[in-house]
Amino acid sequence: MKLLGTLDTLAPPGNLRLAMLRQLQPEILDSLPPHHPDAIHSRRDLRLINRIMGNSRWFLRTLPPLLLPGENSLELGAGSGELSQALHTRGVAIDGLDQVSRPTLWPGSRPWHQTDLLGFSNYADYPAIIGNLIFHHFSTAELAALGQQFRAHTRLIVASEPARHTRFQKLFAAFAPLFRANHVTLHDAHVSIAAGFRADELPRYLGLEPSHWDWRVTTSLLGAYRLVALRRT
């Protein structure tokens, strides 16, 4: 399957110097106890944001046709496990990895790895890796370290991240009051977009050289930056 190319509606690679520079800042939700009222509200907001942006629907359309029979997948930063559970119901053999404990409703037949993904030592067990709103949390150096693991073990990478542009920060700030987003979500969304990606940045930071990988990047109208990368056989 031929995927090679970059389809970024906001800025072609040659204009990256003129684009909003990528900035990593702490997100409030990461510092709150899981049962804090603000954390509960913000996680509700995140579920709504994912639904509005169509992230789960995109993964459900995109991932299954690209998997080989019997191939195991791993969701990085699986959180509450909702995306993996939806994929599991479609017959995808998918496990979860996150620093939080195993979700109550996680399928009993599937492993849950409670660990830091940068220190995870079993990537060789997973030919397919997916990530929803997780890669933007990491620095360029950390993404390079992850990419080294992926290049050694992974056949398929499917990711949805924030597209980095001030217009999406303004768009979110304008519409957030409509679904009563709290102050945590307002702050973290602004920060997440500033840490997001444009054009070929994510495959480049992961070291997915075109000589070895076919990849495609697209940006949705609502600000989702999406990567599909397949190792060349």
Q: Using alpha carbons, list the distances in angstroms from residue 221 to 37, 39, 46, 122, 225.
A: 31, 28, 18, 36, 10
Distance, in Å, from the CA atom of 155 to the CA atom of 215, rounded to the nearest integer, reads 11
Domain ranges for the chain, please list them: 5-10+19-231
The answer to whether the beta carbons of residues 210 and 4 sit under 8 Å apart is yes
pLDDT along the chain (233 residues), means of 10: 44 50 95 94 94 96 96 96 94 95 90 96 97 97 97 97 97 94 96 97 97 97 97 90
Tokens read off for 202:
């994510």
The answer to whether the beta carbons of residues 93 and 72 sit under 8 Å apart is yes
The answer to whether the beta carbons of residues 192 and 133 sit under 8 Å apart is yes
Tokens read off for 103:
């979700």
User: What integer pLDDT is reported at residue 150 of this predicted model?
Assistant: 96
Query: Any bridge partners for residue 214, and if so which?
Result: 230
Query: Any bridge partners for residue 226, and if so which?
Result: 160, 218
CATH architecture of 5-10+19-231: 3-Layer(aba) Sandwich (3.40)
- Amino acid residing at 224: A
Q: How much is the pTM? A: 0.91
Q: What is the dihedral of CA 63, 67, 72, 73, to 10 degrees?
A: -20
Measured from the Cβ of residue 114, the count of other Cβ atoms closer than 10 Å reads 11
User: What integer pLDDT is reported at residue 19 of this predicted model?
Assistant: 61
User: What integer pLDDT is reported at residue 20 of this predicted model?
Assistant: 81
The answer to whether the beta carbons of residues 219 and 9 sit under 8 Å apart is yes
